[in-house]
Every structure is written in structure tokens, then in C-alpha cells.
Amino acid sequence: MERTRVAIVGGGPAGYVAARRLGQLGVEAVLIERAQLGGTCLNEGCIPTKALYAATSPLGHRETFARMGISLSPEVDVDRLRAWRAEIVAGLRGGVAKLLAKAGVEVLSGEASLVGPGRLRVRTPSGEEGISAEAVVLATGSSPIALPGLPFDGERVWSSSDALLLPRIPERLVVIGGGVIGLELGTVYRRLGSAVVVVEALDRLLPGVGVSRRGEALLRRALTAQGIELRLGARAEGLTADGVTIRTAQGREELSADAILVAVGRRPRLDGLGLEAVGAKGERGFVVTDAAFAAAPGVYAIGDVRGGWLLAHKASHEGLLLADRLAAELTSSSPSAEVSEEAVPQAIFTQPEVALVGIPVDEAAARGLAVGRFPLAALGRAWAQGETEGHFQIVADGEGRLVGAEIVGPHASDLIAEAALAISARLTAHDLARAVHAHPTFPEGLWEAALALLGRPLHSG
Ligand code: NAD
């Protein structure tokens, strides 16, 4: 039986980040991964999605350029695109392995399960190994939820992991779920030429995200203009010879499809993990932890498996926090400062992009909070770039402190960082308004929203 101080199960953004930090802090750690380092995010999530989003960007902006007098007629070499995506993923994965090696972390290839407090059994390609550790960290992530009538087969019915392998460009793609994954991948396949229909059970897009009604309506208009058909209030039921059946208020209907992408959420991976061996519990499938990530004495859970926002950056922050606390406990030093949960941003890579942080704008009025708005159509840089659909919205509390922001428009995923920093640093709208922002740039939109909130709008209102 191998002995170590911390054993981490799962090498995704939660697990590998925790392992690297522990290694840097001089705490012996073993990272056990049954598939590939980097987890869902790097191998079949964030990174390949963004690689395809970036690669297909010229296709998504043809009409904008045409208005400027520049005609683009890009040709798509799907084999090359697939290979490029694979190169990006492999390159970054190699980087993670190097970072772990540099921090002195041992990586063990295999599938781990808890057999008792501080004890793991690991099935490796060459047999079975036992590991005992002072602390065990569960970071096993999540996997796509399948619908009973539409089991994944990788051929006709795709999970997001299948879709990201770019098996083919279907003539007609039906996307089940108008959430984050459905809309991001729907955008990519539409750009590649598929006729895309998004089927969403609720009456709005991105229902779980907290985007404002105004922002959602804007996105809906933009997606429709790109030729994506949106079927809201429609629930997918099952597979037919030619496609999929949906149920709406009007009754049952059949949609034909060459491929169906099911993107109706993700569930935590707990199967075979042996939670019962240590007395840890699951609730709605997620590992129950206390505020210090403890699921049972000496057993911790971080990332998607613990629930909350299923976001890579939230998982990594939990990894860093836990690593610092464990290192402090195991080495009797003091842990680093907390990361504030309310400043976890979300970034959704549609066209336009949608990004949010903190208190949703539509909740502001009910809570008696102030909102400042600035439309993209009033921003010089947006005009120069031919993309004026969108807005900046910020929410401030009674003392003027920034507590929320929503950005819809180009680069929203990058722009939200300033608002997240302002929230975590407890800055006020006045602080934002005082900071000089370069002209003409998109970050000026946040500055203008702060000016609007303070009642002295410059280029709006
Ligand atoms: P989601 O919860 O965002 O969306 C799923 C959607 O499917 C919901 O809108 C739901 O109403 C709908 N739905 C469920 N059953 C249905 C049915 N039978 N017919 C029609 N619609 C149905 O889930 P997701 O898009 O799969 O994403 C999973 C998780 O991964 C989310 O928590 C998301 O935040 C996270 N994620 C985030 C990003 C990002 O931030 N850029 C990217 C990818 C994934």
C-alpha cells in the first residue's frame, strides 16, 4: 500500500489545480485519473468548444463584413478543423502533465474508489493498487445527462462530447436544451452550415443562468437572425425513424433531424466512488460538503461533483482554496484569503456573447438595488466593428458598491473580468466611473454604465 499525504481523485480543473498547488506548497500529493488529464473542460468541454467557436468566427461574421464592403467566402476543411481541435487539446494536456511534474505531483492512471477512511483502491491498467492518505479529495466532475427516450449513440444522438468530436456536419441538427451547451454548440454547427433547431422546454433561453429578460430577448433575436430556429415551450420526448418527437402546448409534433444533440444538463460522477465506505452522502446526486469542502472526516469534494455552478473556473478556485487549507492544516501554517463566491463570472460563447456576475439584473428592482445601463448601440467602438447589438448593465447596492453585472455583446466573456474584479474588491460605481478607460474600446461600456448609474450618463440617455 502506497502512503501519501493527499490523494486526489480526478485530474480536471478542480483536481489538477489542487494537486499543483499542494505540490508547490511542499505537500506530497498523488493525482489519480482514469481517463485524461484536464478533465471535461480541456478534453471535451470549454477548450474544444472555444477552439471551434474561434475557428468558425469568420463564418459567423460574413454579413457584418459584407456590410463593410469586404466579402468573405471561407471554405471549411472539416478534417483539418477536427485535427486542429485535437492538436489544441493535446498541446494543453501535455502542458498540464508538465505543470504537475514540475510541482512534484505523482500522477497515477487508474480508477479509484474509497474503501475506508483515508484508503483508496485503484484499478490501474496493470492491476490493482492500494493508497492510504491523510486526506482524500474527490474531484470526479460530471457527465452529460441522457434523456430516457433519446439514449446517446454517438451516431444520431449526440452528447456534447460527441458533438465536439465533429463527427460530421449534419444537414439538420436538432438541439435539445436551450441552455449554455445547446446554444454554444448550436452556434458552431449553424456557422458550419447545419440547419439548427433548438428545442427548449421552458419559455425562455438560458433559464438557469440569470440573464435578464432584456438580454435573453436580445440573444433570441440574434440567434434567429443567424438562422437558428428556436422552439420554446417544447419538450423533447423520443426518437423516431426520421428525427425526434416534441410536445408543445399545441400537441405532439415530429421534427426531422440527421443528428440530435441532447444538452439538458450534467450530472455528477459518483458511480463506484465508494462514498458509503466513509459515511459521505449524496443529495440530488451531488456530494454533500460543509463550507470547508469536507464530505466526511478526511474526505473532501470540489468542482462539479460538489454542485453549485458547474463551471471550470469555480472548480479551480475551489481546488486552490482547499489545497491552501489542507497545506495549512498539514504543515501548521496559515491559509490564504477566501475567494468570494458572489464574484464567480459566467461566460457564454454565443454570438453575441453573454456574460454575468453577481446579482442578476432582473432581481435588482425587487431587492431595491440600483441599475445602470449602457446600450452597445451608443458605443463608438461597437459602431466601428459593425456589432451594435447588446448592452452593459451593472447593479449597485445602497452604498454604491458593485454587486452585479451583465454584458451582452462582442468580447463579453473577457469584459466581465473587470466587473468581477470590482465586485471581489468591493469597488463602487464611483470607483469604476473614476477609472480612465481607453477610447475607443469595449470596456468603456462598463464605465458608461457606471456613469449612467450615477445619474450622469455621457453617451446615452
Ligand atoms: P443547462 O442546465 O444550462 O440547460 C439545459 C436546458 O435543457 C434547460 O434550459 C432545460 O430547460 C432544457 N431541457 C431539459 N429537458 C428538456 C427536454 N426534454 N426537452 C427540451 N428541453 C429540455 O445545461 P447544459 O447546457 O447541458 O449545461 C450543463 C452545465 O454545464 C450547466 O450547469 C452549464 O452552466 C455548464 N456549462 C457552462 C458553460 C459556460 O459557462 N460557458 C459551458 C458549458 C457548460
The residues annotated as belonging to the active site are 439
Q: Is 373 in the pocket of ligand 1 (CB under 6 A)?
A: no
The three cell numbers of residue 357 are: 456576475
When pLDDT is averaged across residues 242-248 and rounded to a whole number, the result is 96
Q: For residue range 122-154, what is the model confidence (pLDDT) as tens digits? A: 999 999 999 999 999 999 999 999 999 999 999
Which residue did the predictor score with more confidence, 219 or 335? Answer: 219
Any ligand 1 atom below 6 A from CB of 177: yes
Summarize pLDDT for 379-408 with one digit per residue, the tens. Answer: 999 999 999 999 999 999 999 999 999 999
Cα of 324 vs centre of ligand 1, distance in Å, is 32
Task: Tell me how far apart the alpha carbons of residues 51 and 185 are, in angstroms, rounded to a whole number.
Answer: 12
State the CB neighbour count (10 A cutoff) for residue 341. 13
Cross-strand pairs, 260: 157, 174
What Rg do the C-alpha atoms of the chain give, in angstroms?
23
Q: Residue 51 C-alpha to ligand 1 middle, in angstroms?
A: 20
Give the model's confidence band at 352: pLDDT under 50 very low, under 70 low, under 90 confident, else very high.
very high
pLDDT value for 284: 85
- Whether 150 is in the pocket of ligand 1, judged by its Cβ within 6 Å, is no
**Whether residue 265 has its Cβ less than 6 Å from ligand 1:** yes
- pLDDT of 441 higher than 90: yes
pLDDT of residue 87: 98
Give yes or no for residue 282 having a pLDDT over 90: no
Percent of the chain surpassing pLDDT 70: 98
Q: Which of 147, 180, 406 to mutate to test the pocket of ligand 1 (most atoms within 8 A of CB)?
A: 180
Q: What pLDDT, in 10s, does the model give residues 19-42? A: 999 999 999 999 999 999 999 999
Please give the Cα distance from 299 to 288 (Å, whole number).
11
Report which ligand 1 atom has the smallest distance to the Cα of 348. Answer: 41
Indicate which atom in ligand 1 lies nearest the CA of residue 246. 19
Is residue 9's pLDDT more than 70? yes
pLDDT per position as a tens digit, 305-351:
999 999 999 999 999 999 999 998 887 766 655 556 778 999 999 99
Separation of alpha carbons 47 and 366, rounded Å: 37
Q: What is the pLDDT of residue 297?
A: 95
* Distance, C-alpha 170 to centroid of its chain: 25
Contact 392, 444 (CB under 8 A): no
Question: Is the CB of 275 inside a 6 Å radius of any atom of ligand 1?
Answer: no
What pLDDT, on the 0 to 100 scale, is given for residue 340? 66
For range 49-53, the mean pLDDT: 98
Closest CA to 41 of 15, 14, 12, 18: 12
Q: What pLDDT score was predicted for residue 329? A: 85
Q: What is the pLDDT of residues 177-217, one digit of tens each?
A: 999 999 999 999 999 999 999 999 999 999 999 999 999 99
Sorting pLDDT into bands at 50, 70 and 90, what band is 243?
Answer: very high
Average pLDDT, the chain: 96
